[in-house]
Amino acid sequence: MPRILQSRRALILCAAAAAALPAFAQDTWPARPVRVIVPSSPGGGTDVFARILAQALSEQTRQNFIVDNKPGASGNIGAELAARSEPDGYTLLVASNSSLGINPVLLRSMPFDIERDLTPITRGVFAPMVIVANPSTGWKTLRDMLEQGRREPGKMFYGTAGTGSPLYIGVRMIEEASGARFSHVPYKGAGPAYQDLLGGRLQFMLTDLASIEQHVKAGKVVPLAITQKSPLLPNVPTLAEAGLPDVRAWTSFSVMAPSRVPPAIVRRAGDEIRRALRTPAVVQRLEQQALIPVLDTPEEFAADLRKEREHWGQFIRRNNITPD
- CATH number at 191 reads 3.40.190.10
CB atoms within 10 A of CB 321: 17
Q: How far apart are the C-alpha atoms of 224 and 170, rounded to whole Å?
A: 14
Same domain, 102 and 147: no
Rounded to 5 degrees, what angle do the CA atoms 84, 107, 168 make?
Answer: 115
Task: Say how many domains are in the chain.
Answer: 2
Residues contacting residue 221 through CB under 8 Å, at least 6 positions apart = 132, 133, 134, 135, 197, 198, 212, 215
Prior bond of 71 cis (ω within 30°): no
Residue 49 lies inside a defined structural domain of this protein:
yes
Residue 158 lies inside a defined structural domain of this protein:
yes
Q: What are phi and psi of 185, to 5 degrees?
A: -120, 110
The CA–CA distances, whole Å, from 219 to 61, 137, 197, 234 equal: 42, 14, 13, 16
Same domain, 121 and 182: no
Cβ(33)–Cβ(65) below 8 Å: yes
Q: What are phi and psi of 72, to 5 degrees?
A: 125, 150
pLDDT per residue over 13-22, tens digit each? 444 444 444 4
Rounded to 5 degrees, what angle do the CA atoms 97, 103, 105 make?
Answer: 110
**H helices then E strands: how many in the chain?**
13, 11
Q: Which domain holds residue 192?
A: 129-226
Residue 244 lies inside a defined structural domain of this protein:
no
| Backbone CA torsion sign across 232, 235, 240, 243 | negative
DSSP helix, strand, coil percent of the chain (3-state; round to 5):
50, 20, 35
Structure letter (DSSP) for residue 259:
T
Same domain, 116 and 202: no
Same domain, 106 and 46: yes
Residue 310 lies inside a defined structural domain of this protein:
yes
Instruction: Tell me the β-bridge partners of 122.
Output: 255
Q: How far apart are the C-alpha atoms of 85 and 107, rounded to whole Å?
A: 23
pLDDT at site 7: 42
Rounded to 5 degrees, what angle do the CA atoms 279, 283, 42 make?
Answer: 115
CATH number at residue 41: 3.40.190.150
Same domain, 105 and 153: no
Query: How do beta strands 118-127 and 292-293 pair?
Result: antiparallel
Residue 240 lies inside a defined structural domain of this protein:
no
Query: Where is the domain boundary, 226, 259, 294?
Result: 226
Query: Where is the domain boundary, 179, 209, 226?
Result: 226
Residue 268 lies inside a defined structural domain of this protein:
yes
pLDDT means per 10 residues, the chain with 324 residues, are 41 42 63 96 90 98 97 92 97 96 92 94 95 98 98 96 88 97 90 93 95 93 96 95 94 96 96 97 94 94 96 95 85
Same domain, 133 and 219: yes
Residue 197 lies inside a defined structural domain of this protein:
yes
Residue 16 lies inside a defined structural domain of this protein:
no
Instruction: Mark out the alpha helices in the chain (DSSP H runs).
Output: 3-28, 45-61, 76-83, 97, 103-106, 114-117, 142-151, 166-178, 190-198, 209-217, 263-278, 280-288, 298-318
